């Protein structure tokens, strides 16, 4: 069994109004030292596979077919046996 941790973030070229809104809220709360913040998605996925290569392929396919909007988002992941 493998555990994949998957991080989905906006592509840097895409305008991030959500991050700007959070930054403004933090500045209003006196966290002036936060110079930038972006919010993305974080998935923890457990996979019933014995083979790391197969598990990685599932993670990539699941990102492509469901979890990631590849027009606007990019992702990276860590995978380890559990």
Contacts of 24 (CB under 8 A, 6+ apart): none
Residue placing its CB nearer to its own copies in the complex, 38 or 70: 38
Distance in angstroms (rounded) separating the CA atoms of residues 23 and 50: 43
CB 12 → its own copies: shortest distance, Å? Answer: 11
Which residues would be at the binding site for its own copies (CB under 8 A)? 1, 7-9, 22, 25-26, 29, 31, 33-49, 54-55, 58, 61-62, 65-67
Could you tell me the smallest distance in angstroms from the CB atom of residue 52 to its own copies? 13
What is the closest distance, in whole angstroms, from the C-beta atom of residue 75 to its own copies in the complex? 10
Q: Which residue has the tokens 């930054």?
A: 23
Q: Residue 7 or residue 14: which is nearer to its own copies going by CB?
A: 7
CB atoms within 10 A of CB 67: 16
Phi, psi (degrees; rounded to nearest 5) at 45? -125, 125
């Amino acid at each position: 069994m493998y555990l994949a941790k998957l991080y989905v973030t906006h592509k840097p070229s895409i305008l991030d109004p959500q991050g700007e809104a959070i930054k403004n809220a933090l500045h209003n709360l006196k966290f002036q030292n936060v110079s930038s913040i972006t919010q993305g998605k974080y998935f923890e996925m457990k996979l019933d596979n014995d083979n790391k290569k197969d598990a990685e392929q599932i993670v990539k396919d699941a990102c492509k077919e469901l979890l990631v909007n590849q027009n606007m988002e990019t992702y990276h992941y860590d995978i380890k046996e559990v």
